[in-house]
Structure 1
Amino acid sequence: MATFQSCIPGRVTVYSVPGCPHCIQAKATLGALGLPVCDVDVSHDAGLQAQLMELTGSSSVPQIFFNNIYVGGNEHLKNLAPEKLGQLVLMVTEKSVPTVAPPLPAGNSPESEEWSGGEFKCERNAFADTVEELKRSELIGSRRRGLRVHKNSFTGTELVGWLYREQDCTEHCDQTVFTAVKGKRYFDKRNTLLRLLEHDPHAALNSGEMAACSPVKASELSEALRNLILKLYSDYLSTDGKSVDYKAMSQSLCFKHYCELAVQLQCMELLSLSREEKLAFFINIYNALVIHGNLRLGFPKNIWQRYRFFNYVSYLIGGEVFTLQDIENGVLRGNRKGVAQLLKPFSKNDPRLQVALPDAEPLIHFALNCGAKGCPPIKTYTPQGIDSQLRTAAEAFLENEDGCMVDSVKAEVKLSQIFKWYKADFGGTDEKLLNWVVDHMGASQKKLNLKTLLSAGNVKVSYMPYDWSTNSAD
């Protein structure tokens, strides 16, 4: 976010990415000097990353300019001689920004993007009126099966008969608004008990009502949701992306709008998503769903609660239920077994398998936030330049001591537990894992140290404890 003080004509430009520890340190140092800092987030834009390389000869962040004077990274800033630093500060406070200074992109960071109010226009689903009539009918009631009584239920035969008599609608009605009380949905078998999704006590978080929209383009709905998520993150996320003000968010009008718009995911056409759109959409939805789940159900406090949380919290998307596990391991990891999972998320006959990526994408592990302090920072992603955005996120994660530590004396590399849990995604062996890590690190002393260790051989790999405490800002 750009912050300007009207009494100072110049500025300091910092090219950064969310969650980068050196970026945070540099901005804190500059802020303490009382300087007007413009933070340019390069994680969303491949063009900005190319511009950064052209300006500085480096892709690592942060990169710092005092007006048009290039200083370098955080280490360069810290090592500036007091006299030189004083001269730069004086220049910014006394001289206007020259035309040769790095240009500022419009809307470069999530915090600076405008929010349209969350309005999303669509064609009304004609079957929505039918469902309203059904809820007012006498069809819905209590049905007994054995010793149990199931409220708000009806049989498949009763439903088909009612639709035929009252609505003249049997073949073209939207059947995704119904769910089976137990087992599979059948609409023509007498003993099958059904209920509306909004009456299902175990329903997805966005199924409390029927989507009023006709099937909508995935790209349009995805962008509308992303804009709302950006607004929420701008207002209730810490500057480093590591903590969330859940209490304030839950009471906000923006979160109410988000929940309303999330209902329309029910009728989203997922098969039209490209690979890049799929990556951005499901990463953004995963992170938002974690927050939604924490607000609705509370924070999981132990291993069993976490297991249930990730296998239970879900959205209904395109007529199918996707849990957090389904999104991460089914879609984004190419239908691989997750931690403590005995089976793949999707069977060969599961329609959701059509949505899954063909292969696991290792970089998603530095974009998904599970609601714990040990997770990567929360941010949003766009289909345009998604691969470079994810690589930048990986570089920032590995630069952080919580993600990777290199001990040259002990010839040891300590990594986040993420690399242990998903080792298969990074090659499956210590050697392939370390080569992947060094290939995805930004230019830094840590990378040079790791390269030196790898060339010497006999590097020990260990994993740091994971911080499962909640990322609540309270």
Structure 2
Amino acid sequence: MSGNFKGSVVVYSILGCPHCMKAKKLLGELNVPYSDVRLDLYPQIKDEVMQKSGMRTVPQVYFNAKLVGGNDELQKLVKDSAAWEEALKDVRENPMPEDGPIIPDPSTAVAEADYFNIQCEPDEYFVLVTQMKTANVVRTHGSFLKSHKNAFSGQDFLAWVQKEKELDKERGIEMGQALLDHKFAKPQKSGSSFQGGTELYVLNEGDDSGALNGGAISECVPKSANQLGELLRKMILKLYSVYLSEDGKAMDYKGMKASAEFKTYTEIARELTRVDIKSASREEKLAFFINIYNALVIHANIERGPPTNIFGRYKFFNNTKYVIGGHPYSLQDIENGVLRANRKGVGQFTLPFGSKDPRLEIALERHEPLIHFGLVCGAKSCPPIKTYTPEKIYDELKLAASSFLENDDGCQIDMNNKSIKLSSIFKWYKIDFGRNDKEVGICTQMG
């Protein structure tokens, strides 16, 4: 196939979108030159692109001014020999008209950060914790039946800092409180203040829950929840795009797991153990936990592989965890405990967080139904969103909802029978969308 076209083929895509890769792979196999316009690099044209096409998803494939559609539509076009030849004829013989797709100036692209060379600012209290370990202030406390690893008592800490640091009791208590405030340790029982008595405090490391970011405590000054959530999501998507096969159908998890970039990702994910999320706003929590949920799904696929059956899926969503701010959160905990304001999930008989669970303070005060479209799903197209941001979270979630409902996976309209078939999401989580079918329908139209 000759590449001497007077016109242009344009593909709008985003980083990490497998359906975009499939479309571009097909065009490459057919020797059809195309311009790849990544909307995450040109966010200034995203709204205009969506408005022009009437589509809320990517990929969007254009042959000159003619919108083919997404990957599925491109595949159908190629199989229809007459329509395919007509599309090729247009770009062979005719230049791109003025009303064609937007081609941005390359100089206006947003610079891609080198996510894997993020600098670590050492935390002064990390040195203190290291010294406490060396002095055996941090050790296992308790009996054979009930023990607490990596723990220290308030009185042992005070005695040590008074002797080794030559501090008085008042200053020692302030330093103990700083360890809690910097999320290096947490009270073994409830509470948030350092007492300096027989009570125990446990370091936020060596978590026994099997969290994927467990292990040695992070020595870096914690980033903000928003910064860290967005950073990890972008890093994992960058990895995803590098190790996804050219046709977008297979992932080289083995190669990704062995890469230096993935090692950097896991090191930065450890910073989640000390992140402060308690003081975050509703919008900040929404953006943070959606980004972290989506990153955690991919992280788990790399480490353990994707689930292959119903039981494996149950284990995947209940046992895949990160430690966040000193507490373990599974995928179920994030979705149903935090984002759905502590509601029972599918197949759950009890609430995710009990009345005394410290994570209940982190949960949203009221559920957010649109989160179901922001969390990882298997739709045939992708919303043009790479990461979620607190400033635009509701607009971004509405866009994700519109993108989902634009696909047959989300909504099918049968004009002949005058019926609408919705995704099972609306059945499983009906309580989130409305008290009856009418309210669910209204919520769907709002999406």
Q: Bin the TM-score by the shorter chain.
A: 0.7 to 0.9
1:66 aligns with 2:66: no
Superposition pairs of residues 196-211 of structure 1, within 5 angstroms:
196-202=203-209, 204-211=211-218
Residues 1:37 and 1:304: Cα distance change in structure 2 (over 3 Å): same
Residue 244 of structure 2 contacts residue 250 of structure 2 at CA under 8 Å; is this kept in 1?
yes
Residue 218 of structure 1 contacts residue 272 of structure 1 at CA under 8 Å; is this kept in 2?
no
Superposition pairs of residues 173-252 of structure 1, within 5 angstroms:
173-175=178-180, 176-178=183-185, 184=190, 188-190=196-198, 192=199, 194-202=201-209, 204-237=211-244, 244-252=251-259
Residue 272 of structure 2 aligns with which residue? 265
Picking from 381, 392, 397, the partner of 2:387 is 381
Picking from 362, 365, 369, the partner of 2:369 is 362
Deviations 1:357-386 (A, max 9, x none): 44322222123138xx68996973232644
Distance in 1 (CA, whole Å) between partners of 2:222 and 2:331 is 23
Residue 48 of structure 1 aligns with which residue? 45
State the 1:249 CA deviation: 1.8
Distance in 2 (CA, whole Å) between partners of 1:404 and 1:435 is 14
State the 1:424 CA deviation: 1.0
Residues 1:99 and 1:136: Cα distance change in structure 2 (over 3 Å): farther
Distance in 1 (CA, whole Å) between partners of 2:412 and 2:85 is 34
What secondary structure sits across from 2:370 in the alignment? helix
Residue 331 of structure 1 contacts residue 356 of structure 1 at CA under 8 Å; is this kept in 2?
yes
Picking from 317, 321, 338, the partner of 1:314 is 321
Residue 159 of structure 1 contacts residue 187 of structure 1 at CA under 8 Å; is this kept in 2?
no
Residue 11 of structure 1 aligns with which residue? 8
State the 1:256 CA deviation: 0.8
Residue 15 of structure 2 contacts residue 237 of structure 2 at CA under 8 Å; is this kept in 1?
no
Residue 31 of structure 2 aligns with which residue? 34
TM-score by length of 2: 0.75
TM-score by length of 1: 0.71
Count of aligned residue pairs for this structure pair: 429
Distance in 2 (CA, whole Å) between partners of 1:406 and 1:98 is 34
State the 1:123 CA deviation: 3.8
Superposition pairs of residues 327-342 of structure 1, within 5 angstroms:
327-342=334-349
State the 1:407 CA deviation: 5.1
State the 1:260 CA deviation: 1.0
Picking from 117, 120, 134, the partner of 1:119 is 117
Distance in 2 (CA, whole Å) between partners of 1:342 and 1:106 is 55
What secondary structure sits across from 2:205 in the alignment? helix
State the 1:254 CA deviation: 1.4
Amino-acid identity (%): 41
What secondary structure sits across from 1:393 in the alignment? helix
Distance in 2 (CA, whole Å) between partners of 1:35 and 1:368 is 34
1:289 aligns with 2:287: no
State the 1:290 CA deviation: 2.3
- 413-422 vs 91-100, greater mean Cα deviation: 91-100
What secondary structure sits across from 1:270 in the alignment? coil
Residue 373 of structure 2 contacts residue 400 of structure 2 at CA under 8 Å; is this kept in 1?
yes
Across the aligned residues of Structure 1 and Structure 2, the Cα RMSD in angstroms comes to 4.5
State the 1:269 CA deviation: 3.6
Distance in 2 (CA, whole Å) between partners of 1:239 and 1:434 is 39
Residue 92 of structure 1 aligns with which residue? 91
Residue 213 of structure 1 contacts residue 264 of structure 1 at CA under 8 Å; is this kept in 2?
yes
Residue 136 of structure 1 aligns with which residue? 134
Residues 1:411 and 1:57: Cα distance change in structure 2 (over 3 Å): closer
Residues 1:329 and 1:85: Cα distance change in structure 2 (over 3 Å): same
Deviations 1:246-301 (A, max 9, x none): 22221121111111111222333435655544333221210111233344456556
Residue 406 of structure 1 contacts residue 412 of structure 1 at CA under 8 Å; is this kept in 2?
yes
Distance in 2 (CA, whole Å) between partners of 1:331 and 1:44 is 31
1:393 aligns with 2:392: no
Residue 15 of structure 1 contacts residue 41 of structure 1 at CA under 8 Å; is this kept in 2?
yes
What secondary structure sits across from 2:116 in the alignment? coil
Where structure 2 has 5 or more consecutive residues not aligned to the other structure, the ranges are none
Where structure 1 has 5 or more consecutive residues not aligned to the other structure, the ranges are 441-474
